[in-house]
Amino acid sequence: MKKQAGFTLVEIAIVMVIIGLLLGGVLKGQQIITNAKIKNIENDFTGITGAIYSYQDRYRALPGDDSRADKRFIPEAGVTISKGNGKNGIEGAFDTESDTDESRIFWLHLRAAGLVTGEPSSFDQPINAFN
C-alpha cells in the first residue's frame, strides 16, 4: 500500500482554530485601542469643562471674556495678555486670525491661569477645525 502525503482533517481543523483565535485577538485589541482613544478624548473635554468652571469660580468671568485679564496675569517679556469685553459671552469666529478675538484668547486666559497646559504666551492654537 502506498502512503499518501498530506494533512488530515484534524490537523486542518486545529490550524483553522488557531487562525480564528489570532484574528479574534487582533480585532479585540483594535477595539480596546479605539475605546481607549475615545475615553481619552472624553477626559480631555471633561478637563476643559472643569477648567472653565474653575476660571469662573476663581475670577468671576469667562475665560476669553475676562475684562480684567490684562491686570490679573503678569505677562512674559514681549507678550501681551489681551482682555475680553466682559459681556458674559465669548464672541468671535471659530476660524479667526485676530489675536484679540475672545474666541482666540480663551485659551490664552486658561493657560495664563495655569488651568490647562501650554505656554501662556503661545498663540499656536488652531484657527480652524482642520489644523
CA distance linking residue 127 with residue 22, whole number of Å? 44
Give a yes or no: residue 123 inside a domain. Answer: no
Classify residue 79 by its DSSP letter. Answer: -
Give a yes or no: residue 1 inside a domain. Answer: no
Name the helix (H) or strand (E) containing 31: helix 9-59
pLDDT, one tens digit per residue, over 63-112 is 988 989 888 887 776 667 788 888 888 887 777 777 778 888 888 888 88
Give a yes or no: residue 70 inside a domain. Answer: yes
Q: What pTM, to 2 d.p., does this model score? A: 0.67
Give a yes or no: residue 130 inside a domain. Answer: no
Is residue 85 within 8 A of residue 66, CB to CB? The reply is no
Enclosing domain of residue 43: 9-112
Average pLDDT, the chain: 84
Burial per residue of 28-60, b for 16 or more beta-carbon CB atoms within 10 angstroms, e otherwise: eeeeeeeeeeeeeeeeeeeeeeebbeebeeebe
Give a yes or no: residue 71 inside a domain. Answer: yes
- Highest-scoring range by mean pLDDT, 8-12, 83-87, 116-120: 8-12
- Total domains in the fold of the chain: 1
